[in-house]
């Protein structure tokens, strides 16, 4: 008899445990969802179709019952393999696209290298009399495409590669950050501390910081005084005819403007500008690293939809993560990163949404036809 009571009691406690487990196991209240949602919304704000698909997939995420899905479906988010995830294959695909679209505006914004060419052109036109320079006046685009400028072409290629590596680092960082929305509802306490901060591994932060450091340094090295001398000598020889004094003053002025372009990952306080620890908040200082000092030419634009005040406020820079050995990996590369080139023009939103509604309609149609037959 006692034995039976014990069994009943044990069964009841097991049942209540299961019940309390499933009470917390809710995709609607997934603690990473709100943060990831804001970042996704900011990234997908420009494209109407992307915005729509983002909305649909977010809704599906929230309405799903958490379950373990195949490693294949988790794809590059398979760090959360075997856990009760709210992600599905399509959301993982959306995250991949988000990581790429995030870096597109960074690639397409004028970098310090384009500014160098612009500044050269304006100094040329200001300092040299019309008789010694090309007529009609040379424009920056003509310089960028002038194949006879061998030295400039080399530096142009080099800075393009630095820029591509920078974009790849940021893409992997965004992808890794967003993947954390796939952590299982049954494993939240492994990854989130009592303050609600996401635990991330030191190793993945190091990889991101190192990749950002290397790319920024690679880009900054283009602007050493001796490199500037070679570039300016070549440009002056190509565009100024028989006037050493104006050539000298153009070179002097451009070099003085670029004497400290402020292309750095050093925040001046012993830390990094690209820290790797603010996952879902405003990272624009890091993202603007290759633009250099805003005084180089005009003012720096702000990335993403920062003209949109309401979205801007969603991404205030804050530390939303903490280093922990059992944390998540925030640096996740993807084969898709290979489409990143200097122009970013191959990055486009492409997504075929599996539409459950049209599937239902199709099934109804089949049922209707078979009824008639
Ligand atoms: C070159 O242009 C700068 C900026 O407009 C001006 O201050 C300077 O006097 C000019 N130098 C010469 C030699 O024309
Ligand atoms: C050379 O350039 C300087 C500065 O623009 C100008 O004052 C001078 O007249 C030019 N000399 C010739 C020969 O064009
Ligand atoms: C800014 O964002 C808000 C909220 O998402 C949206 O309603 C509004 O249309 C956006 N405005 C622009 C100009 O994109
Ligand atoms: C970008 O697309 C063009 C045209 O499809 C292709 O030739 C080129 O290789 C692509 N670049 C990269 C980096 O994938």
Q: Which residues contact 156 (CB under 8 A, 6 or more apart)?
A: 113, 144
Q: Is residue 260 scored above 70 in pLDDT?
A: yes
Structure confidence at residue 18 as a pLDDT band (50, 70, 90): very low
Residues 202-248 pLDDT 10s: 999 999 999 999 999 999 999 999 999 999 999 999 999 989 999 99
Q: What is the pLDDT of residue 3?
A: 62
Query: What is the structure's pLDDT at 278?
Result: 87
For 55-80, what is the mean pLDDT?
96
How many CB atoms are closer than 10 A to CB 18? 10
- Ligand 4 test: best mutation among 164, 346, 350, most atoms within 8 Å of CB? 346
Ligand number nearest to the C-alpha of 55 = 3
Q: Which of 182, 253, 186, 166 is nearest to 23 (CA)?
A: 186
Mean local confidence (pLDDT), 48-73: 96
CA 361 to chain centre: 38
Q: What pLDDT score does 92 carry?
A: 97
Q: Residue 258's closest CA among 88, 58, 118, 140?
A: 118
Average pLDDT over residues 178-203: 95
At residue 62 the predicted structure's pLDDT band, cuts being 50, 70 and 90, is very high
Give the nearest ligand 4 atom to 339 CA: 14
Q: Give residue 243 CA to ligand 2 midpoint distance, Å.
A: 6
According to the model, what pLDDT value does residue 353 have? 87
Q: Which atom of ligand 3 is found nearest the CA of 45?
A: 14
First to last CA, the chain: 62
**251 vs 5, residue with greater confidence:** 251
* Nearest CA owner, ligand 3 atom 14: 308
Report the C-alpha gap between 76 and 80 in whole angstroms.
10
Categorize the per-residue pLDDT at 364 as very low, low, confident or very high, splitting at 50, 70 and 90: low
Exposure on the CB side of residue 225, measured as CA atoms within 13 A = 5
- Closest ligand to C-alpha of residue 129 is 2
Predicted pLDDT at 295: 78
Does the pLDDT of residue 17 top 80, yes or no? no
**Token pair belonging to 361:** 């309609």
Instruction: Decide if pLDDT at 362 tops 50.
Output: yes
Q: State yes or no: pLDDT of 142 exceeds 70.
A: yes
Ligand 1 neighbours by CB, cut-off 6 Å:
126-127, 249, 253
| 144 in Cβ contact with 156 (< 8 Å) | yes
- Ligand 2 neighbour 127 (Cβ under 6 A): yes
pLDDT surpasses 70 at 178: yes
> Residue with the nearest Cα to atom 11 of ligand 3?
308
CA neighbor of 66 nearest in space, from 39, 33, 96: 33
Q: Is the pLDDT of residue 265 over 50?
A: yes
How far lies 188's CA from each of 32, 85, 236, 244, in Å?
9, 10, 62, 69
Is residue 313's pLDDT more than 80?
Answer: no
Question: Closest-lying ligand to the alpha carbon of 342?
Answer: 4
272 phi/psi in degrees, rounded to 5: -100, 150
164 vs 355, residue with greater confidence: 164
- Region 42-63 average pLDDT: 95
Task: Write the residue with the smallest CA distance to atom 4 of ligand 4.
Answer: 346
pLDDT (tens digit, 9 = 90+) per residue, 218-228?
Answer: 999 999 999 99
**Can you tell me the mean pLDDT for 55-77?**
96
Least confident of 12-26, 103-117, 178-192, 210-224: 12-26
CB 346 less than 6 A from any atom of ligand 4 = yes
DSSP letter assigned to residue 66: P
Considering only CA atoms, which residue is closest to atom 10 of ligand 3?
A: 308
Among protein residues, the one with the nearest Cα to ligand 4's atom 7 is: 346
Q: What are phi and psi for residue 67, nearest 5 degrees? A: -155, 160
CA distance 231 to 152: 6
**Is residue 196 over pLDDT 80?**
yes
Contacts of range 252-260, beta carbons closer than 8 Å, 24 or more positions apart: 253/123, 253/127, 254/116, 254/119, 254/120, 254/123, 254/228, 255/225, 255/228, 255/229, 257/119, 257/296, 258/116, 258/119, 258/223, 258/228, 258/296, 259/225, 260/293
Give the whole-number percent of the chain exceeding pLDDT 70: 82
Query: What is the pLDDT at residue 199?
Result: 96
């Amino acid at each position: 008899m006692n034995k039976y009571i014990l069994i009943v009691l044990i069964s009841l406690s097991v049942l209540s445990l299961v019940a309390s487990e499933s009470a917390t196991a809710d995709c609607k209240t997934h603690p990473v969802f709100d943060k990831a949602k804001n970042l996704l919304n900011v990234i997908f704000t420009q494209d109407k179709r992307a915005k729509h698909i983002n909305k649909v997939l977010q809704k599906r995420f929230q309405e799903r019952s958490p379950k373990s899905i195949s490693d294949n479906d988790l794809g590059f988010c398979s760090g959360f393999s075997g856990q009760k995830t709210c992600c599905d294959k399509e959301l993982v695909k959306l995250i991949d696209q988000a990581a790429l679209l995030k870096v597109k505006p960074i690639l397409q914004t004028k970098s310090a290298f384009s500014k160098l060419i612009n500044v050269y052109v304006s100094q040329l036109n200001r300092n040299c009399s019309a008789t010694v320079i090309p007529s009609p006046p040379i424009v920056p685009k003509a310089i960028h495409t002038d194949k006879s400028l061998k030295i400039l072409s080399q530096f142009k290629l080099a800075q393009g590669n630095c820029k591509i590596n920078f974009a790849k680092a940021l893409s992997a960082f965004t992808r890794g950050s967003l993947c954390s929305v796939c952590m299982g509802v049954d494993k939240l306490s492994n990854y989130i501390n009592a303050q609600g901060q996401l635990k991330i591994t030191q190793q993945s932060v190091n990889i991101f910081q190192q990749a950002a450091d290397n790319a920024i340094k690679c880009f900054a090295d283009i602007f050493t005084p001796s490199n500037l001398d070679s570039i300016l000598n070549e440009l002056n020889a190509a565009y100024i005819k028989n006037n050493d004094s104006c050539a000298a003053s153009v070179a002097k002025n451009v070099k003085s403007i670029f004497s400290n372009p402020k292309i750095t990952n050093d925040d001046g306080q012993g830390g990094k500008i690209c820290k790797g620890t603010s996952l879902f908040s405003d990272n624009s200082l890091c993202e603007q690293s290759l633009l250099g000092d805003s005084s180089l030419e005009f003012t720096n634009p702000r990335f993403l939809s920062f003209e949109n005040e309401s979205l801007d406020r969603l991404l205030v820079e804050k530390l939303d993560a903490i280093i922990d050995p059992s944390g998540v990996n925030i640096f996740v590369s993807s084969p898709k990163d290979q489409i990143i080139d200097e122009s970013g023009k191959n990055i486009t939103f492409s997504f075929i949404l599996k539409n459950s509604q049209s599937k239902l309609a199709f099934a109804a149609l089949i049922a209707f036809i078979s009824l008639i037959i």
